[in-house]
């Protein structure tokens, strides 16, 4: 009897954490691709993806959500 080879599922090692009023923290072996299909530089073990729309360097969180939240401005992600 032949046992089929299993391929490791890279997605199984990916974890996404929703930060209250902040970014999505993505941990694991991922590639981030822009709307034109090119891979974005900046591979790290953990990336923070903006979901408030206020970042100055999309799609990465640059901390702008903290200032906006303190000032009561911007979209407040949930």
61 binds ligand FES (CB under 6 A): yes
Tell me the closest approach of the beta carbon of residue 58 to ligand FES, in angstroms.
9
Burial code (b: 16+ CB inside 10 Å, e: under 16) for 9-44 equals eeeeeeeeeeeeebbbebeeebeeeeeeeeeeeeee
Which of these ranges, 3-11, 25-33, 35-43, 47-55, lies near ligand FES under the rule CB under 6 A?
47-55
Q: Any contact of residue 47 with ligand FES (CB under 6 A)?
A: no
Minimum CB distance to ligand FES, residue 64 (Å) = 4
Longest dimension (CA), the chain: 66
Q: Which region, judged by CB under 6 A, interacts with ligand FES, from 4-12, 25-33, 36-44, 50-58?
A: 50-58
SS3 category, 13: helix
DSSP-derived secondary structure letter, 63: S
Interacting residues with ligand FES (CB under 6 A): 22-23, 50-52, 54-55, 61-65
């Amino acid at each position: 009897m032949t046992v089929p080879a299993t391929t490791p599922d890279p997605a199984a090692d990916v974890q996404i954490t929703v930060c209250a009023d902040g970014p999505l923290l993505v941990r694991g072996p991922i590639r981030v691709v822009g709307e034109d299909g090119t891979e974005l530089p900046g591979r790290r073990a953990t990336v923070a993806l903006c979901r408030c729309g206020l970042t100055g360097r999309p799609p990465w969180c640059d901390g702008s959500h903290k200032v906006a939240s303190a000032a009561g401005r911007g979209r407040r992600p949930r």
